[in-house]
């Protein structure tokens, strides 16, 4: 994206630069930040409203109906205003500095994780090679928020909540990591964009349906993800019937709402991660996005070209839009919608579970993790590994419309294979001959598509 | 409240460093009102629980010494405010026993209808609130949705939704309005198919079973020793129900009614209905059984109301006229217990021959049921404390009186 | 077992500790002395014929009229009764025991009358005796934890005694 | 043009300074705080800022590793340990002057060593490099790490075929796994020992 702004800058000031300047990066960074903060904050707004509506329906109620007209869709906003207006209380026994900092730690962590989460092919704030790992690492930091809050509140119930949170989240990171490794193993990359693109085509290409083991792993992942974001039936850290409100017992007003924004933020984050890792990311169940985008671009492209032509009178000739870019971006937009829908479905399932099931006890939560989730995840991992090593048939081989996942393997695999094959004297044809017809990783390497972040520059050198 | 007490046994005053003393209540989401439990915890494990009562003490017994029995009826409503009808019934029967008042058949059947409907309404709250204690909110609203319908019926009968003062010594304040019985039957027909829903959400739910089965196990002997009554006693497998085993003045209300006492006999519960199976993890006398007995009593109460409606519509006599407001009581003292939803509710009435009793005493079922908390909660986890206290289904208004 | 039989049987066994009975009352009762109540109760609980294993209730009743003119007409001397209602879950029968106590121990105002605790016989008695102690002012000897239960720890007086005066102030809260 | 040049400052260096200052500042805050939980909090920030340095250098994998292991793992354990063992809720640590002196000597020696080593690197002495020449990091570190593990000489990819893979020296995967299993064993052993010790002491108190 920085390149894009540099282009604009250059065309405006009639300059030419090889790499984007500071201003371009700054603008790009600000736009990314604003977009992500809207995903988190507006997302929380919508999800809280959804939670109210869904829980209402589950419980034979209507939920909010008044604020904002039909369906009470402004209810959360009204609540937000109420929360802002509330008195901000710091208990006498609290460690004031930590007490005040704790909500922001959680919010910041939840927010940071979005940096690496792609919303569509290449639509990501920071296209990271190790996005999966980064998201897991940042999610691990989020646990500090309840711990610090509970410890700093100076209340025994808060402390109990913090201790439970620490024990629970640290334990659930183990099976969660194991589950996340499986798609990475199948795809041979930690790059979320690549993993998502490898599932292009019909839903049979989704990794959850790759083989029976990946489906098990997908289920375990969702369970562990629910636990790691502290949702019922694993919401022990704030168990209202036992610990009053757990770690946020002493919080009020805006600080309290930050915990909730972080919670809903991470809910969507883990759901989105599930969508990318197991459920095709931004690819719909039926590959119709590209044809539709192709048709739409027939209309949009001339319009854009005309716009460029008009603007060109002012800032100088801008030329034509690159062939195919419009179609790709429309497909991306549809992919983004797809992704948002999938993530929202994940969040909805979490809500459904929350309003249906009783809460587990702390020892049962740990048992679920250590005695069930970890072995099942390990079993799924091994099974998927064996499946992959022995080249057993996957749903990906089914004769359906779509592309073969392994046509888009990441290049380093080829490099390593080349190295190994040539040294072992393998006479098989060079992998270069099988150069994939479609390589989103390369495609995303092009300057138009990759929204580069502020700090690390120059996309793929290849 | 700064208290100066030299008694070393009071728990707040000896704090050990490696343990934590936590106040659960009186302001706490799962203490059913204003119960205060002082927990001595080592991490998540509770080593000692000390209940502190009295936050809702309203001197009901002292007030009873200044009012006539009929004037005191509203105070009985406010003891067990979730089953006001059954409290009215207990007090009315006690006063009738003293003045030796005989009721007509019709009035008796009316009382059965009302008391059993009250039992359903009360157990619905017990069920929903127990779900709340275990962290699930939806069953609570499902329960209240049905309870509201019962309250609508009660409102039609007596004009009140919570504190009814409907059953009085001598009968009831009014007859059931026209069409009430049909509405009541319609409610039962609609309500009965909903019960499997509750079983699916709670009774047979895997997490619910995990949270309750084998928790807070109380043997039958222990239950009797602590004076536990009602579903708490029967959940421990003791076959004792005042509707069958009580005093004649009370049991004659149920004469000729077909019902089985809900308790596990010879390893199984009554098989008069299609109840869900007892899970393998459940131990007799644990939280799950106490809950299960309550759920089964709801079905039983539906049956009883149906029978009572049939009898009421054909019975002779009138619905009973209340005694005079200042009815002069004969000298003497009586004690009578009835089977209220939470256990045996006893009233002790001492009269010196005036219209105003010399002494009124209410034997609270929850008071006794709650007294086992310390013994049941020893060594359990913090999360089990609400599970155990919730399974006793206490109402603080009745405990503190 | 008829009431008369039971009274005779108990008198034979416990002699002086059974101080009387009233079999004509609506709920017939047996009077037991304050020193023998625990022993009698243990027997009643364990006896194979009686098996009174459930203690329903313990009530304290204060008999006192401040007005001397009315007191003369009352027909009884001022005293305090502790009433035990027992029943059996096996035999489905009930029994009432009474202990008659002076209003004050040794008629010294402020010294609570004493009666043996039956908390060792039925655990129910633990809280019930605390309540009677709290509200009616009877001291139960041998009780493991005899302190107020419904009223605050520092409450003054025994509210269900007939000569009880409502305090005018409690921790700055106006009494009336 | 002037406007553009004014804005085209060396932002890479700016962010480097920013994160470096954050790291050092919070490290100092750790030193000068006596409350152990606050120390942990400052340590989180300090380690997080140093992870930021890694990200800035394009070493995303190492940066994420820093976050995961040190911030997400070690510090959680630290705080958890404090919460479980703390006698009073806010343990305060008083550092005696002797400890200060020792720490200063040791830390100073280490700093001296690091600085001399750092300034031996030729590029550091050549003054300020031209921002235009700074090769910005390419974030492909995982590929190299992964290939390195499997035995590929990532530094010699262009070497003649067959010259880089020596039999018997097929990568670092096995040693890495051995080290991590060793760590796991140590952790389990520590937990086990802590447990038995506690039981013995409680029995001792009882006796």
Residue B200 to residues A372, B302, B392: CA-CA distances in angstroms?
24, 19, 21
- Mean pLDDT over D85-100 rounds to 66
Structure tokens at A430: 């060079």
Residue A361 is assigned to a structural domain of this protein: yes
Residue A401 is assigned to a structural domain of this protein: yes
Asked if residue B229 and residue B295 are part of one domain, the reply reads: yes
Asked if residue A64 and residue A160 are part of one domain, the reply reads: no
Structure tokens at B352: 């010196």
Q: Which of B175, B120, B178 is nearest to B147 (CA)?
A: B120
Residue D161 to residues A62, A419, B302, D168: CA-CA distances in angstroms?
71, 7, 86, 17
Q: H-type helices in A143-191, by residue range? A: 144-152, 156-187
pTM of the model: 0.81
- Chain A: closest CA distance from residue D9 (Å): 7
For residue C55, what is the enclosing H or E element? strand C54-63
Note whether D37 contacts A148, CB cutoff 8 Å: yes
Residues C87-108: tens digit of each pLDDT: 888 888 888 888 888 888 877 7
- Backbone φ and ψ for A427, nearest 5 degrees, come out as -95, 5
- Chain A: closest CA distance from residue D139 (Å): 6
Note whether B225 contacts C56, CB cutoff 8 Å: no
Asked if residue D148 and residue D94 are part of one domain, the reply reads: no
Question: Which chain B residues contact residue D84 at CB under 8 A?
Answer: 43
* CATH code for the domain in which residue C140 is found: 3.30.460.80
Between CA A316 and CA B142 the distance in angstroms is: 69
* CATH code for the domain in which residue D48 is found: 1.20.120.1200
Residue that finishes a domain, picked among A42, A66, A85: A85
Structure tokens at C20: 């009387």
Q: Three-state SS for B347?
A: strand
Residues A57-114: tens digit of each pLDDT: 888 888 888 887 778 888 888 888 888 888 888 888 788 888 888 888 888 888 888 8
Asked if residue A134 and residue A19 are part of one domain, the reply reads: no
Res D105: pLDDT:
92
Number of domains making up chain D: 2
Structure tokens at D170: 């097929």
Site of tokens 């109760």: C41
- Put simply, whether A156 touches B (Cβ < 8 Å) is yes
Residue A407 has pLDDT above 50, yes or no: no
Tens of pLDDT along chain B (401 residues)?
333 444 434 333 333 345 778 888 787 777 677 888 888 887 778 888 888 888 888 888 889 888 898 889 999 988 888 888 999 999 999 998 888 888 888 888 888 999 999 999 999 998 988 988 888 888 899 999 899 999 999 998 888 888 888 888 888 888 888 888 899 999 999 999 989 888 888 888 888 998 898 888 898 888 988 989 989 998 888 888 888 888 888 888 888 888 888 888 877 888 777 888 888 888 888 899 999 999 999 999 999 999 999 888 888 777 777 888 778 888 888 999 999 998 899 899 998 888 889 889 998 888 999 889 888 888 888 888 888 988 888 888 888 88
Q: Do chains A and D touch (3 or more CB pairs under 8 A)?
A: yes
Number of domains making up chain A: 2
The HSE-up count of residue B144 (CA atoms within 13 Å, CB side) is: 13
Question: Which chain B residues contact residue C124 at CB under 8 A?
Answer: 225-227, 368, 371
Structure tokens at C98: 């009474």
Asked if residue A186 and residue A278 are part of one domain, the reply reads: yes
Is C139:C114 a contact under the CB 8 Å cutoff?
A: yes
SS3 of D64-97: HHHHHHHHHHHHHHHHHHHHHHCCCCCCECCCCH
Between CA A219 and CA A234 the distance in angstroms is: 16
Asked if residue A48 and residue A107 are part of one domain, the reply reads: no
Question: Strand C29-32 vs strand C94-101: parallel, antiparallel, or unpaired?
Answer: parallel
For residue D40, what is the enclosing H or E element? helix D36-56
Best of A161, A241, A357, A371 to disrupt the B interface by mutation (most B CBs within 10 Å)?
A: A241
Residue B168 is assigned to a structural domain of this protein: yes
Residue B361 is assigned to a structural domain of this protein: yes
Residue B107 is assigned to a structural domain of this protein: yes
Asked if residue A133 and residue A3 are part of one domain, the reply reads: no
Number of domains making up chain C: 1
Is D56:D86 a contact under the CB 8 Å cutoff?
A: no
Residue D147 is assigned to a structural domain of this protein: yes
- Chain A: closest CA distance from residue B142 (Å): 7
pLDDT-based confidence at A19, cuts 50/70/90?
low
Residue of B nearest to A357 (CA): B136
- Put simply, whether A130 touches D (Cβ < 8 Å) is yes
Residue B2 is assigned to a structural domain of this protein: no
Q: Three-state SS for B222?
A: helix
- Put simply, whether A140 touches D (Cβ < 8 Å) is yes
Asked if residue A40 and residue A102 are part of one domain, the reply reads: no
* Nearest-CB residue to A190 (from D71, D83, D142): D142
Residue D119 is assigned to a structural domain of this protein: no
Between CA A7 and CA A338 the distance in angstroms is: 30
Q: What is the domain extent for residue C14? A: 3-174
Residue of C nearest to B334 (CA): C27
Is B85:B114 a contact under the CB 8 Å cutoff?
A: yes
Chain C residues in contact with chain B using a Cβ-Cβ cutoff of 8 Å: 25-27, 53-57, 59, 61-63, 74, 83, 85, 89, 92, 94, 96, 122-124, 126-128, 131, 135, 145, 147-154, 159-160, 171
What whole-number percentage of chain A has pLDDT above 90?
Answer: 6
Q: What would you measure as the largest C-alpha separation in chain B, in angstroms?
A: 71
For chain A, the distance separating the N- and C-terminal CA atoms, rounded to the nearest angstrom, is 19
- Backbone φ and ψ for B217, nearest 5 degrees, come out as -75, 130
Asked if residue D96 and residue D20 are part of one domain, the reply reads: yes
Burial of B300: CB neighbours in 10 Å, binned 0-12, 13-18, 19+ = buried
Structure tokens at C174: 């106006």
Structure tokens at B206: 């895997």
* Nearest-CB residue to A58 (from B44, B131, B138): B138
Residue D112 is assigned to a structural domain of this protein: no
Residue A433 is assigned to a structural domain of this protein: no
Structure tokens at C25: 């009352």
Residues 3-32 in B contacting C (C-alpha not used; CB under 8 Å): 3-5, 7, 9-10
- Put simply, whether A430 touches D (Cβ < 8 Å) is no
Site of tokens 């085993």: B245
- Chain D: closest CA distance from residue B46 (Å): 16
Between CA A25 and CA A125 the distance in angstroms is: 12
Asked if residue A302 and residue A180 are part of one domain, the reply reads: yes
Instruction: List b or e across B345-377, with b for residues whose CB sees 16 or more CB atoms inside 10 angstroms.
Output: bbbbbbbbeebbbbbbbbbbbbbbbbbbbeebb
Residues A173-184: tens digit of each pLDDT: 889 988 998 888
Q: What is the domain extent for residue D93? A: 7-101
Asked if residue D152 and residue D70 are part of one domain, the reply reads: no
Asked if residue A70 and residue A104 are part of one domain, the reply reads: no
Residues A109-161: tens digit of each pLDDT: 888 888 888 888 878 877 777 888 888 888 888 888 888 888 888 788 888 88
Asked if residue B265 and residue B136 are part of one domain, the reply reads: yes
Between CA B127 and CA B143 the distance in angstroms is: 7
Residues C130-147: tens digit of each pLDDT: 999 988 888 888 888 888
Q: H-type helices in chain C, by residue range? A: 3-14, 37-46, 68-74, 124-136
* CATH code for the domain in which residue B297 is found: 1.10.645.10
Q: H-type helices in A59-130, by residue range? A: 75-85, 96-113
Asked if residue A97 and residue A81 are part of one domain, the reply reads: no
Residue that finishes a domain, picked among A46, A66, A85: A85
Q: What is the domain extent for residue B24? A: 8-52
Between CA C141 and CA C164 the distance in angstroms is: 23
Structure tokens at C101: 């106590």
Q: What is the domain extent for residue A49? A: 1-85
Residue that finishes a domain, picked among A85, A114, A134: A85
Asked if residue B271 and residue B315 are part of one domain, the reply reads: yes
Asked if residue B167 and residue B127 are part of one domain, the reply reads: yes
**Residues forming beta bridges with residue A276, ordered by sequence position:** none
Asked if residue A311 and residue A382 are part of one domain, the reply reads: yes
Residue D110 has pLDDT above 90, yes or no: yes
Q: Three-state SS for C144?
A: coil
Between CA B210 and CA B205 the distance in angstroms is: 9
In which order are the strands placed within the sheet that holds B359-363? B332-340, B343-351, B359-363
- Backbone φ and ψ for D173, nearest 5 degrees, come out as -65, -50
Residue A420 is assigned to a structural domain of this protein: no
Question: Which chain A residues contact residue B384 at CB under 8 A?
Answer: 361
Q: What would you measure as the largest C-alpha separation in chain A, in angstroms?
A: 76
Q: Which of B217, B213, B385, B393 is nearest to B294 (CA)?
A: B393
Residue A231 to residues A348, A390, B246, C25: CA-CA distances in angstroms?
12, 38, 48, 63
Question: Strand C54-63 vs strand B332-340: parallel, antiparallel, or unpaired?
Answer: unpaired
- Backbone φ and ψ for B225, nearest 5 degrees, come out as -60, -40
Between CA B30 and CA A242 the distance in angstroms is: 7
Asked if residue B391 and residue B258 are part of one domain, the reply reads: yes
Residue D72 is assigned to a structural domain of this protein: yes
Asked if residue A400 and residue A281 are part of one domain, the reply reads: yes
Between CA B356 and CA B353 the distance in angstroms is: 8
Give partners of C (≥3 CB pairs < 8 A): B
For chain C, the distance separating the N- and C-terminal CA atoms, rounded to the nearest angstrom, is 52
Between CA B99 and CA B89 the distance in angstroms is: 15
Note whether B17 contacts D87, CB cutoff 8 Å: yes
Is B382:B44 a contact under the CB 8 Å cutoff?
A: yes
- Chain A: closest CA distance from residue D46 (Å): 13
Between CA A59 and CA B381 the distance in angstroms is: 30
Size of interface B-D (CB pairs under 8 A): 3
Residues A249-306: tens digit of each pLDDT: 888 888 888 888 888 888 899 999 999 998 888 887 877 777 787 787 778 777 877 8
Asked if residue B203 and residue B335 are part of one domain, the reply reads: yes
pLDDT-based confidence at D159, cuts 50/70/90?
low
Structure tokens at A451: 């929204």
Number of domains making up chain B: 2
What whole-number percentage of chain A has pLDDT above 70?
Answer: 78
Asked if residue B148 and residue B15 are part of one domain, the reply reads: no
Q: Which of B381, B283, B347 is nearest to B47 (CA)?
A: B381
Question: Strand B36-42 vs strand B20-24: parallel, antiparallel, or unpaired?
Answer: antiparallel
Asked if residue B21 and residue B84 are part of one domain, the reply reads: no
Q: H-type helices in A323-401, by residue range? A: 325-354, 362-367, 374-389
């Amino acid at each position: 994206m920085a390149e894009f702004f540099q282009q604009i800058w250059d065309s405006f000031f009639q300059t030419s630069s090889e790499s984007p300047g500071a201003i371009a990066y700054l603008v790009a960074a600000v736009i990314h930040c604003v977009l992500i903060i809207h995903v988190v904050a507006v997302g929380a707004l919508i999800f809280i409203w959804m939670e109210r509506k869904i829980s209402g329906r589950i419980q034979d109620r209507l939920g909010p109906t008044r604020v904002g007209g039909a369906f009470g869709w402004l209810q959360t906003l009204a609540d937000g205003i109420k929360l802002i207006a509330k008195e901000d209380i710091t208990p006498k026994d609290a460690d004031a500095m930590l007490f005040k900092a704790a909500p922001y730690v959680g919010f910041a962590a939840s927010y940071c994780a979005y940096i690496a989460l792609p919303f569509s092919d290449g639509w990501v704030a920071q296209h990271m090679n190790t996005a999966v790992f980064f998201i897991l690492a940042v999610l691990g930091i989020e646990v500090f928020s309840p711990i610090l809050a509970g410890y700093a509140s100076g209340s025994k119930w808060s402390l109990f909540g913090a201790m439970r949170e620490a024990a629970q989240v640290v334990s659930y990171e183990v099976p969660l990591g194991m589950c996340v490794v499986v798609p990475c193993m199948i795809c041979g990359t930690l790059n979320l964009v690549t993993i998502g693109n490898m599932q292009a085509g019909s839903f049979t290409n989704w990794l959850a349906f790759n083989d029976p083991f990946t489906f098990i792993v997908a289920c375990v992942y969702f369970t562990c993800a629910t636990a790691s974001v502290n949702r019922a039936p694993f919401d022990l850290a704030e168990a209202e019937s036992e610990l009053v409100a757990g770690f946020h017992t002493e919080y009020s007003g805006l600080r309290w709402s930050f915990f909730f924004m972080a919670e809903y933020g991470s809910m969507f984050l883990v759901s989105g991660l599930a969508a990318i890792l197991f459920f095709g990311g931004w690819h719909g169940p039926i590959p119709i996005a590209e044809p539709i985008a192709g048709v739409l671009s027939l209309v949009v492209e001339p319009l854009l070209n005309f716009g460029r032509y008009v603007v060109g009178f002012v800032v100088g000739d801008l030329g034509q839009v690159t062939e195919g870019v419009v179609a790709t971006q429309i497909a991306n937009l549809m992919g983004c919608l797809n992704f948002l829908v999938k993530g929202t479905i994940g969040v909805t399932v979490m809500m459904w579970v929350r309003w249906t099931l009783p809460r587990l006890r702390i020892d049962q939560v740990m048992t679920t993790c250590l005695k069930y989730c970890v072995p099942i995840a390990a079993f799924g991992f091994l099974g998927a590994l064996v499946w992959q090593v022995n080249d057993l048939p996957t749903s990906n081989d089914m004769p359906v419309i779509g592309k073969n996942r392994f046509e888009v393997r990441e290049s380093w695999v080829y490099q390593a294979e080349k190295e190994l094959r040539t040294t072992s004297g393998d006479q098989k044809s060079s992998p270069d001959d099988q150069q994939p017809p479609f390589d989103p990783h390369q495609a995303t390497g092009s300057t138009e598509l990759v929204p580069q972040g502020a700090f690390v520059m120059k996309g793929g050198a290849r | 409240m700064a208290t100066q007490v030299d008694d070393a046994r009071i728990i707040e005053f000896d704090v050990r460093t490696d343990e934590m003393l936590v106040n659960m209540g009186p302001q706490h989401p799962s203490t059913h009102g204003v119960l205060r439990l002082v927990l001595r915890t080592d991490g998540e494990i509770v080593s000692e629980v000390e209940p502190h009562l009295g936050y809702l003490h309203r001197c009901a017994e002292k007030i009873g010494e200044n009012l006539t029995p009929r004037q005191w009826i509203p105070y009985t409503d406010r003891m067990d405010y979730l089953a006001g009808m059954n409290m009215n019934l207990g007090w009315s029967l006690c006063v009738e026993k003293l003045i030796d008042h005989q009721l007509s058949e019709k009035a008796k059947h009316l009382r059965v209808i009302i008391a059993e409907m009250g039992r359903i309404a009360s157990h619905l709250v017990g069920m929903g609130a127990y779900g709340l204690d275990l962290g699930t909110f939806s069953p609570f609203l499902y329960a209240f949705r049905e309870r509201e319908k019962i309250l609508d019926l009660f409102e039609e009968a007596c004009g009140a939704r919570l504190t009814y003062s409907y059953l009085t010594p001598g009968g009831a304040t009014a007859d059931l309005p026209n069409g009430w019985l049909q509405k009541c039957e319609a409610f039962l027909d609609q309500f009965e198919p909903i019960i499997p829903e509750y079983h699916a959400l709670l009774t047979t739910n895997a997490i619910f079973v995990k949270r309750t089965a084998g928790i807070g196990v109380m043997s039958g002997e222990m239950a009797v020793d602590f004076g536990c009554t009602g579903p708490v006693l029967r959940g421990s497998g003791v076959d004792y129900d005042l509707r069958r085993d009580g005093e004649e003045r009370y049991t004659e209300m149920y004469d000729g009614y077909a019902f089985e006492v809900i308790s596990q006999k010879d390893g199984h519960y009554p098989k008069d209905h299609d109840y869900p199976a007892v899970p393998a993890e459940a131990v007799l006398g644990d939280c799950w059984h106490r809950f299960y007995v309550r759920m089964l009593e709801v079905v039983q109460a539906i049956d009883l109301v149906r029978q009572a409606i049939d009898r009421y519509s054909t019975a002779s006599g009138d619905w009973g006229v209340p005694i005079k407001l200042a009815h002069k009581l004969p000298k003497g003292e009586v004690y009578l217990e009835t089977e209220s939803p939470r256990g045996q509710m006893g009233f002790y009435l001492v009269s010196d021959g005036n219209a105003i009793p010399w002494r009124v005493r209410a034997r609270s079922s929850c008071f006794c049921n709650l007294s086992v908390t310390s013994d049941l909660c020893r060594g359990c986890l913090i999360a089990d404390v609400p599970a155990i206290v919730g399974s006793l289904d206490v109402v603080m208004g009745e405990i503190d009186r | 077992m008829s009431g008369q039989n039971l009274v005779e049987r108990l008198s034979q066994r416990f002699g002086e500790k059974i101080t009387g009975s009233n079999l004509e009352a609506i709920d017939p009762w047996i009077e037991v002395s304050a020193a023998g109540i625990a022993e009698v109760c243990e027997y009643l609980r364990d006896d194979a014929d009686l098996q009174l294993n459930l203690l329903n209730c313990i009530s304290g009743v204060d008999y006192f009229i401040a007005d001397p003119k009315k007191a003369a007409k009352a027909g009884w001397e001022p005293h305090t009764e502790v009433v035990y209602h027992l029943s059996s879950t096996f035999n489905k029968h009930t029994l009432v025991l009474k202990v008659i106590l002076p209003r004050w121990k040794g008629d010294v105002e402020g010294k609570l009358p004493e009666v043996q605790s039956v908390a060792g016989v039925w655990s129910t008695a633990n809280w019930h005796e605390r309540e009677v102690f709290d509200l009616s002012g009877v001291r139960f000897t041998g009780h493991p934890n005899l302190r107020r239960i419904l009223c605050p720890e520092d409450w003054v007086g025994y509210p269900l005694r007939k000569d009880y005066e409502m305090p005018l102030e409690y921790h700055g809260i106006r009494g009336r | 043009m002037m406007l553009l040049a004014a804005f085209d400052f060396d932002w890479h260096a700016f962010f480097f300074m920013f994160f470096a200052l954050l790291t050092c500042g919070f490290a100092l805050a750790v030193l000068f705080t006596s409350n152990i939980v606050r120390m942990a909090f400052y340590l989180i920030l300090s380690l997080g800022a140093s992870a930021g340095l890694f990200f800035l250098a394009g070493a995303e994998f190492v940066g994420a590793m820093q976050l995961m292991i040190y911030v997400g793992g070690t510090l959680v354990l630290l705080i958890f340990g404090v919460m479980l063992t703390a006698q009073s809720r806010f343990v305060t640590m008083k550092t005696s002057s002797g400890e200060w002196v020792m720490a200063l000597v040791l830390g100073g020696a280490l700093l001296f060593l690091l600085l001399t080593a750092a300034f031996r690197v030729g590029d550091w002495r050549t003054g300020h490099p031209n921002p235009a020449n700074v090769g910005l990091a390419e974030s492909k570190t995982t590929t190299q790490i992964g290939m390195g593990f499997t035995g590929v000489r990532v530094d010699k990819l262009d070497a003649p075929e067959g010259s880089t893979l020596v039999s018997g020296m097929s990568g670092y995967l096995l040693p890495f796994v051995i080290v991590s299993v060793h760590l796991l064993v140590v952790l389990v052993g520590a937990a086990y020992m802590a447990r038995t010790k506690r039981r013995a002491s409680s029995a001792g108190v009882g006796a």
